[in-house]
A = this chain, B = another copy of it.
Amino acid sequence: MIYEIAQLTIKEGEEAAFEAGARKAVPLFQRAKGCHGMRVERSIETPSAYTLIVTWETVEDHMVHFRNSADFQEWRGLVGGTFAAPPQVHHTSVAFVGF
Contacts and interface: CB of A to CB of B under 8 A. Distances in A.
Chain copies in the assembly? 2
A97 B23 CA distance: 9
A41 B93 contact: yes
> SS class of chain A's interface: helix, strand, loop or mixed?
strand
Interface stretch (A42-50, A66-74, A78-86): A42-50
Point out which of A49, A59, A92 has the most chain B C-beta atoms below 10 A from its C-beta.
A92
A44 B2 contact: yes
B96 A46 contact: no
A76 to B, nearest CB: 16
B91 A45 contact: yes
A97 B42 CA distance: 12
18 contacts: A5-B51, A22-B98, A23-B96, A23-B98, A26-B98, A29-B98, A37-B99, A38-B97, A39-B94, A39-B97, A41-B92, A41-B93, A41-B94, A42-B94, A45-B90, A46-B90, A49-B90, A50-B95
